[in-house]
């Protein structure tokens, strides 16, 4: 399983980073396609099949992904309409929530790349990836008390601390490499994003446990589904987008 995870990561990471580097419209197209797959996975979790409401949600978040970097307000409007339509077709709050759960972070990612710039998005990705790796390594080597045994029996407090520590170190490293003045508040923000990323992981685990599903899908060998791979990023992206909006720019102006 570990070998599969590594091989899959070696394939996916260059594709993702290449799209990030290229920017729009390449990055928006990748995000839109990933969003549609995630909508299918969410429908699979909730209903075990791709329903009409799931197709509506998939179309909504796909459109939001394409629009997000250019017209975030319009993209969020599309997500909201998709949520209402999915609710009308499915009569399920869970299915309708999926449009928001996926659509808002999709718009946030596109917005961060467009308004926050390449460095800000790379910094966010580095923090989320470092959190996953640090949590996995610390949890496996140290073990100890469980973080949330009823939701995710394998997660430990040591893993949480290891993930936050790794995120802060890697976040600071990205700032040093990109020659952005390091201020303590950015280290604190890295730690907050790491904790939020772990909360996002736990949230998705709780949803899968509720519907008695192990993985969102088996589309990525060793990782499960796209939702399983980006659950932390889904949680952290809106916070960075809000920071970009509040500071009127990316990391270069966060001083």
Is residue 59 within 8 A of residue 66, CB to CB? The reply is no
Cα 255 from Cα 253, distance rounded (Å): 6
Cβ atoms within 10 Å of 157's Cβ, excluding its own: 16
Q: Which helix (H) or strand (E) holds 153?
A: strand 152-156
How large is the greatest C-alpha to C-alpha distance in the chain, in angstroms?
51
> 143-192 pLDDT, tens per residue?
888 988 888 888 899 999 999 999 999 999 999 998 888 778 899 999 99
Domain total in the chain: 1
Looking at residue 217, its pLDDT comes to: 87
Structural domain boundaries enclosing 18: 2-253
Could you read off the pLDDT of 87-102 as tens digits, one per residue? 888 767 888 888 999 9
Report percent pLDDT > 90 for the chain. Answer: 60
pLDDT at 92: 72
pTM: 0.93
Whose tokens are 């990205």? That residue is 174
| pLDDT digit string, tens, across residues 38-93 | 999 999 898 888 888 888 889 999 999 999 888 999 999 999 998 888 888 876 78
Classify residue 148 by its DSSP letter: E
């Amino acid at each position: 399983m570990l070998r599969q995870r590594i091989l899959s990561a070696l394939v996916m990471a260059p594709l993702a980073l290449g799209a990030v580097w290229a920017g729009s419209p390449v990055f928006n197209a990748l995000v839109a396609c990933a969003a549609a797959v995630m909508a299918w996975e969410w429908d699979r979790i909730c209903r075990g099949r791709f329903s009409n409401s799931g197709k509506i949600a998939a179309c909504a978040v796909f459109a939001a992904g394409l629009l997000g970097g250019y017209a975030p307000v319009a993209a969020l409007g599309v997500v909201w309409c998709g949520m209402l339509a999915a609710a009308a077709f499915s009569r399920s709050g869970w299915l309708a929530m999926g449009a928001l759960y996926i659509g808002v972070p999709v718009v946030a990612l596109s917005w961060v790349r467009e308004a926050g710039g390449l460095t800000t998005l790379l910094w966010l990705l580095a923090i989320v990836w470092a959190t996953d790796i640090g949590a996995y390594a610390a949890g496996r080597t140290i073990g100890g008390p469980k973080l949330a045994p009823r939701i995710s029996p394998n997660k430990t407090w040591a893993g949480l601390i290891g993930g936050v520590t790794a995120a802060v170190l890697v976040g600071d490293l990205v700032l040093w490499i990109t020659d952005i003045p390091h201020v303590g508040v950015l280290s604190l923000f890295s730690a907050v994003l790491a904790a939020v990323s772990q909360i996002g992981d736990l949230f998705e685990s709780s949803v899968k446990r509720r519907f008695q599903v192990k993985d969102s899908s088996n589309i990525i060998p060793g990782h499960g589904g796209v939702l399983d791979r980006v659950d932390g990023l889904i949680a952290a992206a809106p916070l960075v987008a809000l920071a970009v909006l509040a500071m009127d720019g990316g990391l270069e102006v966060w001083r």
